[in-house]
A = this chain, B = another copy of it.
Amino acid sequence: MEKDTLLMFSMTPLDKGESVSKYVSRSLDIIDKSGLEYRLNPMGTVVEGSWEEVIKVMSDCFEKMSSDCNRISVSAKFDFRKGKSNRISGKMQSVENKLGRDLKK
């Protein structure tokens, strides 16, 4: 399966108060061990794979979080581009090339 899909998502419990890094770190553990390329950013995590692969890792995170959280909000954004891979770094390089200088990443 081609790794033509980027998924950026964040998954947050709404019933655990304002500090939720304990729950977020469990998701990152799942993502880090999934074998997929990923990048953590301050507002979520970008995962690269086929549609099925990125859906599976998000669903694995949901299964874990829903085991002990009663209300969960998930924001997700998918970017599919047929026949393109290695986009997790390629998209940013393309923008830097157009600008002719480095950006903060």
Report which A residues bind B (CB closer than 8 A): 6, 8, 10, 12, 14-15, 17-18, 20-22, 24-25, 28-29, 32, 37-44, 46, 51, 55, 59, 62, 66, 69-83, 87-89, 91-92, 94-96, 98-99, 103-105
Contact = CB atoms under 8 A, between A and B. Distances in A.
A86 to B, nearest CB: 11
| Closest 4 A/B residue pairs (Cβ) | A25-B98, A8-B43, A74-B78, A18-B71
A55 B105 CA distance: 21
Question: How many copies are assembled?
Answer: 4
Given A22-B98, A42-B89, 13 more contacts: A12-B14, A14-B17, A15-B18, A25-B95, A40-B103, A41-B46, A41-B105, A42-B87, A42-B88, A42-B91, A51-B62, A73-B78, A75-B77
